[in-house]
Amino acid sequence: MILKGVGIGRGVAVGPVLRMAEPLPEPKDEPRDASITAEAENERVTAALNAVNADLNKRAEEAANGDDGQKQAAEILQAVAMFAADPSLAANIKAKVDAGATGERAVLDGFGQVEDMFRAIGGYQGERAADLHDVGQRVIANLMGLPAPGVPESDEPFVLVAKDLSPADTTALDLKKTLAIVTSEGGPTSHTAILCRARGIVAVVSAAEAIDLKDGEQVIVNAAKGEVVTEPTAEQVEEAHEAKAKADKAKELRGQPGQLADGTRIPLLANVGKPSDAKVAHEYGAEGVGLFRTEFLFIGNEQPPSVEEQTKAYAELLSQFPGKKVVIRLLDAGADKPLPFLTPEDEPNPALGLRGLRTLAQHKEVLEGQLKALADADAQTDADLWVMAPMVADEWEAEYFTKLGKSFGLKFVGSMAEVPSIAVMADKVAQVTDFVSIGTNDLTQYTLAADRTLGSVSNYQTAWHPAVLRVIKMICDAGREHGMPVGVCGEAAADPDLAVVLAGLGVNSLSMTPVALDDVRAELASHTMEEARELAAKALDGDFYKPPFWTED
């Protein structure tokens, strides 16, 4: 039997199932014993919340000193720990205790209300509901005097199967024993998926039927195919081991330049979110940075960082890539990244509202502050700095930003292609800007009118759709005609098979999460440009695309 899900990475694993422990018993919905005062019960709840907050922050500190995947997990753990310190949530729980509930029931209902709200929002926020639920369960376990939920002990390597995993559990996994992870819930943007990708763990998430897997049952987890094979035959196990060997062999090319089998160069770059991520990019053989997100400097602040603060951060990143290409994207505020000092409140449709360059153009002091800081950092370092604006819609916006960037002394100034209109006008855009970098996540969202934050239309979030590929081809054709480089820095670049198609369409460079570099490098090396173009032609015709409403005759 084959269970379908969403694969994380390209790895393959074979081994016995080990299920997560059963959840805690649900606290009874009955009045608190009259002899226990609300004050005493609230003190008990506060102590439990504080204990869980302290434990998660301690785990975050320990993870910060671990491997690179654990370091990424440290930030997630710190964010999750804040649930246990949220004053509004604590006030809601207190109100329930004051009304006569037990501490355990008040915590269950208080956390549950926020979980339901997150799930109703869906998408990325919906997947945070699992993190919130885990924190609530830890608080309840503390109140009950029971061990916190977690991964069971095992002397033998195992395939961990769970409804979903918390960041704390994923961080604590022993990689010497964890062959793979399979979850029945979650999605490609859940913290389980993010951390599995960061730690290089083979995983298939959102495999609904995995809930029926039993302890000790032998399975094959194939992330490349997004499937779990139960009760595999000897032949299937052998094929899985061969696929695993092929996946492991991809690491042997690490450090070599990205290129096709005929020597056609396709530079492979890394997407990074802060200067400290450079270490991971180097480890996986990145040839530079194709997307450095500057949001980390702005999010969580009440006002923009100073030019001096920004210059220091940009110079810290650039200094780690002497002589190499580093593409820095200006602040992409709005939509799912609102900022109190920039973006409007209560926009009815923020994904189609004031975001990206539109926001920056209305806040010239922020825009020009970033450009000055980038120019100052460039003058202090030896990297090959390229700067681009997010959400550029046409040649007028492209020309506006390119001229402005060059007035600050920046050498290479370009545009992010996330709106289909820039592809329609690509022949004009290519004549007024230095380069275009395609953000496939938003380009897919806008091409297919499917909000990337909504789980209800997640089936449309694939750059394999021929409409998306045709939009990309329009940009590549214009780039080729006018000598303008075209890169891809969206999630599509991290798909090894799609990376070959993108090369065949005319994309000049690919940028991705560092752990995807090995597989993409190996896949590119197994195809010539002629073969890549043949695959691209088939993809443009929809040969590799399965529609959401596809049914077998």
pLDDT at 361 over 70: yes
pLDDT at 289 over 50: yes
Residues marked active site are found at 191, 489
Q: What's the pLDDT at 463? A: 92
CB 413 within 8 A of CB 401: yes
Query: Candidates 3.40.250.10, 3.30.70.2740, 3.20.20.60, 3.40.50.2020; correct CATH number of 259-540?
Result: 3.20.20.60
User: Mean pLDDT for the chain?
Assistant: 89
Secondary structure class of 380 (helix, strand, coil): helix
pLDDT at 403 over 90: yes
Calculate the CA 439 to chain-centre distance.
Answer: 13
Q: What's the pLDDT at 302? A: 79
Residue carrying structure tokens 């949001």: 295
Question: In whole angstroms, how large is the CA radius of gyration of the chain?
Answer: 25
CB 107 within 8 A of CB 52: no
Residue 105 backbone dihedrals phi, psi, to 5 degrees: -70, -40
| CATH T-level fold of 2-16+177-237 | Glucose Oxidase; domain 1 (3.50.30)
- Render pLDDT for 232-264 as a digit per residue (tens, 0 to 9): 999 999 999 988 887 778 888 998 999 999 999
- Render pLDDT for 151-175 as a digit per residue (tens, 0 to 9): 777 889 999 998 888 777 777 788 8
Spatial separation of the C-alpha atoms in residues 290 and 269, rounded to whole Å: 5
Spatial separation of the C-alpha atoms in residues 158 and 149, rounded to whole Å: 18
Q: What's the pLDDT at 124? A: 60
pLDDT band at 142 (very low <50, low <70, confident <90, very high): very high
State both tokens at 342: 């920039």
Calculate the CA 347 to chain-centre distance.
Answer: 25
Q: What's the pLDDT at 148? A: 75
Q: What's the pLDDT at 98? A: 95
- Render pLDDT for 19-67 as a digit per residue (tens, 0 to 9): 987 778 889 999 999 999 999 999 999 999 999 999 888 878 877 776 5
Give the start-end residues of each E strand in 123-250.
158-162, 178-183, 203-205, 218-222, 227-230
Spatial separation of the C-alpha atoms in residues 255 and 263, rounded to whole Å: 16
pLDDT band at 553 (very low <50, low <70, confident <90, very high): very low
CB 312 within 8 A of CB 305: no
Spatial separation of the C-alpha atoms in residues 185 and 126, rounded to whole Å: 11
Task: Map out the domains of the chain as residue ranges.
Answer: 2-16+177-237, 38-144, 259-540
- The mean per-residue pLDDT over the stretch 515-526 comes to 91
CATH architecture of 38-144: Orthogonal Bundle (1.10)
pLDDT at 551 over 50: no
State both tokens at 269: 């770059």
Alpha helices, H only, 150-299? 167-172, 191-199, 234-249, 278-283
CB 514 within 8 A of CB 268: no
pTM above 0.75, yes or no: no
Residue carrying structure tokens 């005062």: 37
Secondary structure class of 529 (helix, strand, coil): helix
- Render pLDDT for 429-476 as a digit per residue (tens, 0 to 9): 999 999 999 999 899 999 999 887 666 777 788 899 999 999 999 999
pLDDT at 486 over 90: yes
Q: What's the pLDDT at 548? A: 72
Q: What's the pLDDT at 57? A: 87
Lowest mean per-residue pLDDT among 128-142, 191-205, 341-355: 341-355
Q: What does each C-alpha distance from 13 to 16, 201, 237, 553 come to in angstroms?
A: 10, 10, 9, 33
